[in-house]
Structure 1
């Protein structure tokens, strides 16, 4: 009798995230990652330049990141690393999950932003560009506030709560913690930057493209179950475990994930939402006169932004 062949060991995939991913945790506990043949090692990153430097240097296999970062490091020579990378988007994850401009306790009016310290990841990141747009919508131009580079969203939340900045962009459960601590939402990205794509699965080159695609598919399948209301308990429990959002806060986060305006996608990448990000870059980071527009044709299938057979040419 021929012995059965043992199953292949799972692919170990090192994934860099800014805020611990509740969706990834749910995909793990429900068996979606195991079914995809994946063992995901989730690692925190301190900033978007650090995340993409780690992708470049092989310290990360995959990034869960803002699609604006993929645009910047693929097309803009002026990105913080000063070099272009063959990075691409594998799948969409969410539309921002509560992304908005939040102010510290005691600051609840737009006029109080004059002279304020605004915390950003880096001044040229996608969330920073959204901050500029939201502040403009409130009638507060960039000339009346000061920027402070503070890194990833959890770090900016800490800075907001301990008084190192007056306002910053928060999302992905960090805004729920901020509100519980008395912070105020001044403007929401879903109201002023729509359509918006907040988070994607991204990969560098082709070495990890297959496993990154399997990850994207597993997260998309899990997202569909969350959106259908099949995993409310599991999602709330994961929000408590990885974000410290216990009880009612975890249930509130679960409902945000199901919000059609800013919650989870089913893996799709909305080109109109990517066009929103390009529009913000053109508005707030214009190229010097006479310089070629790096965004011209960036969304064309042959430019490789989307990691599909057609997208990679």
Structure 2
């Protein structure tokens, strides 16, 4: 174990998909690679980008759509741009569910309703628009409200401030307990969708390569731990610590979601071309300027490839 640890601030959003970070912290995996990792939740994607560009954080676990948007100058910060931001590893496939108030039983009943998103033109906002279009609901028939990250939107929904929103695991299970409806699961409409990625500023990564590779290797060890059946009860306990409202059975169901081979955590941490393409196509269907041709520029896999070539990768 390293004595002198490098502090690494990781920004993220509330959700069960943070399990690899929690495992890495509990099992002291990051410390093996000389890192002291702190996970901090942001208010929303704008807050995240501002903190990344200011240098107050080093790594973000965020939607790849945010990387596409800010690389292309289509974000919602003061200048809307973070051209130095790149995705360096894959995290998950989104775990997205459209939740609505109990009285809203179908997508068509969302006409005239207020839907919340993180930010209006980044993150998963365009997925919500795509769901509406697929169900023949005009975007002009609903009102969108920028309400911040998943946890904020869930709490606002339960408090009656909005009629519907996209949430991520495990908030759909918590909302169902309150009588709210799951109208659409994102995996059903967008089977290749790429959700969370690890993102970093290239300028920081180029001068801190060893730290970034160490983070990747520790995250990989955490994933191996999660996918090891002998650790499942311990993983359930960690999930319940993160979300005290979850019952044991609900936490086990969430863990099953996380380990789903098609829709769960990305065990090899790759960034699938099909997933990136699907996010790009959805963004280009709704954004004023196409990012499709530049989508490959938002990915830098050199650090993941160096980690994969390490003898520690297979552990």
Matches within 5 A, 1:236-251: 236-244=236-244, 245-251=246-252
Q: Distance in 2 between matches of 1:125 and 1:297?
A: 16
Q: Which structure's residues are more often helix, by fraction?
A: 2
8 Å Cα contact 2:216/2:304 also seen in 1: no
Q: SS at the partner of 2:236?
A: helix
Change in 2 beyond 3 A, CA 1:230/1:52: farther
8 Å Cα contact 1:120/1:150 also seen in 2: yes
Report the counterpart of residue 286 of structure 1 in structure 2: 288
Q: Distance in 1 between matches of 2:134 and 2:81?
A: 33
Q: Distance in 2 between matches of 1:238 and 1:106?
A: 34
Change in 2 beyond 3 A, CA 1:273/1:304: closer
Greater mean deviation of Cα atoms: 152-161 or 122-131: 122-131
Q: TM-score, normalised by structure 2?
A: 0.88
Q: TM-score, normalised by structure 1?
A: 0.88
Report the counterpart of residue 89 of structure 2 in structure 1: 91
8 Å Cα contact 2:67/2:298 also seen in 1: no
Report the counterpart of residue 124 of structure 1 in structure 2: 121
Q: Which of 105, 108, 111 is the equivalent residue of 1:111? A: 108
Q: CA deviation at 1:118?
A: 0.6
Report the counterpart of residue 76 of structure 2 in structure 1: 80
Change in 2 beyond 3 A, CA 1:126/1:155: same
Report the counterpart of residue 3 of structure 1 in structure 2: none
Change in 2 beyond 3 A, CA 1:196/1:230: farther
Q: Distance in 2 between matches of 1:46 and 1:202?
A: 17
Q: CA deviation at 1:304?
A: 5.4
Q: SS at the partner of 2:229?
A: coil
Q: Distance in 2 between matches of 1:268 and 1:10?
A: 27
Q: Which of 272, 275, 292 is the equivalent residue of 2:274? A: 272
Q: Which of 71, 77, 98 is the equivalent residue of 1:101? A: 98
8 Å Cα contact 2:114/2:145 also seen in 1: yes
Report the counterpart of residue 48 of structure 1 in structure 2: 45
> How much is the aligned-residue C-alpha RMSD, in angstroms?
2.0
Tell me which stretches of 4 or more aligned residues in structure 1 moved more than 4 Å.
Answer: none
Report the counterpart of residue 13 of structure 1 in structure 2: 8
Q: Distance in 1 between matches of 2:263 and 2:27?
A: 24
Unmatched 5+ stretches in structure 2:
306-315
Report the counterpart of residue 213 of structure 1 in structure 2: 213
Q: CA deviation at 1:8?
A: 4.1
Q: CA deviation at 1:169?
A: 0.5
* Number of residue pairs the alignment of both structures matches: 296
Q: Deviations over 1:128-171 (max 9, x none)?
A: 11111112222222121110110000000011101111110011
Tell me whether 1:202 sits opposite 2:199 in the alignment.
yes
Report the counterpart of residue 313 of structure 2 in structure 1: none
Q: Distance in 2 between matches of 1:268 and 1:197?
A: 10
